Structure 1
Amino acid sequence: MSHSIHPPEKVSVGQLQASQTSQSTQSSAMERQHDEKITDRESARVDIPEFPSIDEKTVLRKMDIRLIPMLSILYLLAFLDRGNIGNAKIEGLLDDLHMSGPQYNWTLTVFFFTYCVFELPSNLLLKKLRPSRWLPLIMIAWGIVMTLMGVVHNYTGLLATRLFLGIAEAGLYPGVAYYITLWYPRHRAQYRQALFFSAASIAGAFSGILAYGIAKMDGVGGYAGWRWIFILEGLLTVVVALVAPFAIHDCPETATFLTDAERQFVIHSLRTQHSSDSREMVQDQTKFHFRYVIEAFTDWQIYAGLFMYWGITCPLYGISLFLPSIIKDLGYTSSTAQLLTVPIYIVAAIVAVFAAWVSDRRKQRSPFILFFMAMIAIGFIICLASSGRGVPGVVYFGVFVAVVGIYPAFPGNVTWVSVNLAGDYKRAAGMAIYIGLGNLAGAMASNFYRAQDAPQYILGHALELAFVVVGMIATVIMRFTYQCINRKRDSLDLSQYSSDPDSLGDRSPFFRYML
C-alpha cells in the first residue's frame, strides 16, 4: 500500500500573526480567569503578618518556664491527694475504720461520680473567670477536704469526704489541659501536656516515698500513720494554693513576660494552627453561647474518642489505686511495696516526655498512641501469663511495662482530641465532656481489683487488657475517619467560600484534622 505525501502548506505572515494574536488572546483570558480565581481565594483570607525578629524557640522557652512548672505542681498535688488512699490502705486504714474490701472499693468509685459531673461547669467557669483565681480556689477546696479525710472515724465519713474531693478536684485536669491550648499551637501541645501530665507519674513515685516516711509518724498526736498521710498532704496543697495566683498567667494577650511582638506572634500562631493554607481562623467566641456546648455534646469525636480514652484510663486508675496492693500481695512488706512503686513511675515520666517531644516533631498523634497502647496490652498479658506461678519478679515487670505505656499514651490521647476541636468555648466544653465521661473509667477500674482476687488479680488484669484492645480499635477508626474528612476537604474548591467559614470551627472547609 502506498501513501501519498503532501508538502506542508505555506503559511503567510498575516496568518501567522493572526494565529499568534489568537493564542495571545486565549492566554490572556486564561490568565485573567486564573487571576480572578486567586482574587476570590484571597478575598476569604487574612493577610499574614511576618515576624522576622521573633525566634520561636525563645518564645516557647519563655512560656515553658513561666507556665509548666506551676501547672505540674498543681497536678502532682491533685494526683497525690487522689491516689494516696492506696498508700493509706496498706498502712491500716481498713482495720481502723472497720471497713471491708467492697466498702473500700466503693469509696474509690464515688469520687468519680462527682468528679465527672462537675468538670463541664468548672471548665466553663475557667473560661469565664481568670485561671489565676479559679485554679487556686479549687485547689484550696480539695486541700481542706483532704486534710479532713485524716480525721474521719468511720466508713460513712470517708465516703462523704471522697464525694467532696471529687467536686473540688473536678476542674483541675480538664481546666489545665484546656489552658495549655490557649497558649501553644497544636503541633507544640503534646510535649507540654506530657510535661504537665508527667507530674502524675512523679506523684506516683513521690507518693510511695512520702507515704513511707509519713507512716513512721504512727502514734504522733494520737493519730495513726495513715491519718498523717492525708493531713500533711492536704496541708501542703493549701500552702501551695496560696502561692499559685502569683505564678499563673491568664492568657497570651495579658502575658507581661512576653514582648508586644512576641504576644502578637503567639496569638497569630494560635489563629492559623487549624487552617489548610495558613489563613487566620478567628471565631467570635468572646461571649458565651449555649450553642457551643450543644456543638460539643453532638460532636462525633467526643464519643469515638471515649473508647480510646477508656482504653488508657482504666489501666491508669487501676494501677494508680492498686499498685501498692498488687506489689505487696506479691510477697513484699508494706514498706518495700511503697518503695518499689518509685522506679516504675520515674521511668514512665521520662518516656512520656521523650515520646511527646518526638510526636510534636513528627506532627503525628495516633501512631504514638497506638504504639504505647500496645505496650499496655503486652504488660497485662505478661501479668496474666505469670500470675500465680511463683515468679513475682515477672509480674512486677509486666506492671512496669504497662505503666510505661500508660503515661505516654494518656497525654497523646487528650492532646489529639483537644487540637481537633476548634473554637475556645467549644473546646472548653468538649474537653470537659470528654475528660468527664472518660474518667468514668476510674469508677469502673476501682472495682476491677477485688480483695478476694488477691494475689493473682486475674479478673482485674483481664478487664484492663480488654479495655486496651477496644481502645486500640477506636484509635484506628478515628484516624481513618479524620483522613477521609481531610481528603474530602482537599478536593473542595475553596474559592467558592466568599462568606466567613470560620464560624463553623472544626467543620470549616479550611480546617484540617491532625492525624
Structure 2
Amino acid sequence: MNSQQFNTTLSCFFITFPANFIMKKFRRPSRWLGLVTTTWAIVMTLMGVVQSYGGLLAARLALGVAEAGLFPGVIFYLSVWYPRHRSQSRVAVFFGAATLAGAFSGLLAYGIGFMGGLGGYAGWRWIFILEGLGTFVIGVASFWIIADFPADCKWLTEEEKEWLIYQKAIDSGAHGETSTVSIRYIKQALCDWQTYLSIWFYMGVNVPVYAIALISPSMIASFGHFTRPQVRDAVACCFVIFNAIMADRQKTRFKWIMIDMVLIFIGLTINLTPAPYGVKYMGLFFIASGACTSSSKVGALMLSFSSGAFQIGIGNLDGVMLAFNVGGLIAAPLYAYLLRRANRRKLAELQSGREYTPDEIRELGDKAPGFVYTI
C-alpha cells in the first residue's frame, strides 16, 4: 500500500462508530459485551487472510462496527455498578489497561513476527490471526463470566449485593434511567445543548488519543535516539489511575479534565516547534498522559447523567489535533458553567415547592430538579 491507502485504512473504521446506539437494545451487558468482543475477534482473525486492499478496507469497516460498542458499553456497564463518585477510578483502570496493552502489543507483535513463513503466511498475518483467536476465547467466555447486575451476581454475598444496590439508589435518587430507545428520546438528545457541547470538548481530548496511538511510533522512530514508546504508555497508565482516584476522592471532574487538556496543549505545542528531539519526546509524554486520562474522564462524566452513545459515537469522527484541543479548552469551561447554572435553577425550583409524580421525575431523567450534576 502507498501512504494514502495506509492512512485511509487506519481511519475508515471510525465512520461506523455511531453504531453504538443499538447498545440500549440489549438488556444484559454480558450479551452485549460478549457479542461485540467475539465479533471483534472474528474480524481481527480474518484480517490475517485478506488478499487485497479492498478486502482490508471492508475488514476495517466491519471492525469499526464491532469496536463501536465496546468502550461505551464497558463505561455504561461500570456505571450500573458504581455511584458517580466511585466510577471514575474504575473507568480509569479500564482505560489504563488499554494504555498498557499499547505498551506491550508491540513486543508481542515483534515476537509473533518471527513466525513469518509458517504455513505460507507472512509474519504480519500471524499477528492478526493469533491475537484475534486469543480475543475470541475471551469474548466467548465473557458471556458466562460477566455478572450483569449486582442483584444477579453469584460471587457476592447478600450483604454486598444490598450495599451496592443501596449506593446506586441514593446516587440516582428517584430519577432512574429508561431502558428503551424511542424516537422521542433521540429527538431530546438531538435538541439538547449538552449533546453538542460535550461532543465539542470530547473531540478536544479524543483526537490526541488516536493520534498518539497511530502516529507517535513513527515520530519516535524519526527522533533516532528514543525508540521506546512502551515507556510513554506505561507512564500514561500510571497518570490515568492517579488522576482518576483524585477526581473520585474530590467528587469532581472538571478541574482534572482541564489539567489534562493543558498537558495535551503543552505537548502538542512543543512538537510543533523546532525543539530538540529529547524535548519533543518529553512532549509526547504530556500528550499521552493528558489524552488518555481526559478521554476516560469525559466518557465517565457524560455517562453519569446521559447515555453518552451519541456523543461518543460522533466524538470519534476527529480531525486536526491542536485545533480540536483548543476547541476542547474552550468548550470544557463553558460546559461546566452551564451545568452549574442548571444546578442553580434546579435548586430554585426545589425551593419553590413544586411537586412531581414519580413518573414525571423518571421521565425528566437528569433534567429533574433533584438530580445534581457532578462537575
After TM superposition, the score normalised by the length of structure 2 is 0.93
Unaligned runs of 5+ in 2: none
Q: Is it true that 1:250 corresponds to 2:148 in the alignment? A: yes
CA distance in 2, matches of 1:378, 1:440: 23
Could you tell me which amino acid in structure 1 is paired with residue 18 of structure 2?
V
CA contact 2:24–2:179 (8 Å) conserved in 1:
no
Q: Is it true that 1:502 corresponds to 2:368 in the alignment? A: no
Residue aligning to 1:111: 13
Q: Percent identity of the aligned residues?
A: 41
Q: Is it true that 1:327 corresponds to 2:220 in the alignment? A: yes
Alignment CA distance shift 1:160-1:511 (3 Å):
same
CA distance in 2, matches of 1:495, 1:105: 58
CA distance in 1, matches of 2:335, 2:366: 15
With 237-246 and 194-203 compared, the bigger mean Cα shift is at 237-246
| Superimposed CA distance per residue, residues 192-249 of structure 1 (whole angstroms, 9 cap, x where no aligned partner) | 1101111110111021211221222233332222222111111111121222223200
CA contact 1:117–1:436 (8 Å) conserved in 2:
yes
Counterparts in 2 of 1:116-515, with a 5 A limit?
Answer: 116-121=17-22, 123-126=23-26, 128=27, 130-274=28-172, 280-283=173-176, 285=178, 289-331=182-224, 337=227, 340-386=228-274, 391-421=276-306, 427=307, 431-441=308-318, 444=319, 463-492=320-349, 493-500=351-358, 501-503=360-362, 504-515=364-375
CA distance in 1, matches of 2:324, 2:317: 13
CA distance in 2, matches of 1:498, 1:161: 51
Unaligned runs of 5+ in 1: 1-98, 275-279, 422-426, 445-462
After TM superposition, the score normalised by the length of structure 1 is 0.69
CA contact 2:30–2:147 (8 Å) conserved in 1:
yes
Alignment CA distance shift 1:466-1:285 (3 Å):
closer
Alignment CA distance shift 1:178-1:464 (3 Å):
same
Deviation at 1:290, TM superposition (A): 4.1
CA distance in 2, matches of 1:263, 1:485: 33
Could you tell me which amino acid in structure 1 is paired with residue 209 of structure 2?
L
- Structure exhibiting the larger radius of gyration computed from Cα positions: 1
Alignment CA distance shift 1:265-1:282 (3 Å):
farther
Residue aligning to 1:92: none
Could you tell me which amino acid in structure 1 is paired with residue 357 of structure 2?
S
CA contact 1:373–1:468 (8 Å) conserved in 2:
yes
CA distance in 2, matches of 1:257, 1:237: 24
Tell me the SS of whatever aligns to 1:491: helix
CA contact 1:347–1:404 (8 Å) conserved in 2:
yes
CA contact 1:183–1:251 (8 Å) conserved in 2:
yes
CA contact 1:494–1:509 (8 Å) conserved in 2:
no
Could you tell me which amino acid in structure 2 is paired with residue 439 of structure 1?
N
CA contact 2:103–2:229 (8 Å) conserved in 1:
yes
Alignment CA distance shift 1:384-1:284 (3 Å):
closer
Could you tell me which amino acid in structure 2 is paired with residue 435 of structure 1?
I
Could you tell me which amino acid in structure 1 is paired with residue 7 of structure 2?
N
CA distance in 2, matches of 1:502, 1:269: 19
CA contact 1:302–1:417 (8 Å) conserved in 2:
no
Could you tell me which amino acid in structure 2 is paired with residue 418 of structure 1?
L
Q: CA RMSD in A?
A: 1.9
CA contact 2:25–2:180 (8 Å) conserved in 1:
no
CA distance in 2, matches of 1:239, 1:232: 11
Alignment CA distance shift 1:284-1:344 (3 Å):
closer
CA contact 2:102–2:230 (8 Å) conserved in 1:
yes
CA contact 2:18–2:309 (8 Å) conserved in 1:
no
Segments of 4+ moved more than 6 angstroms: none
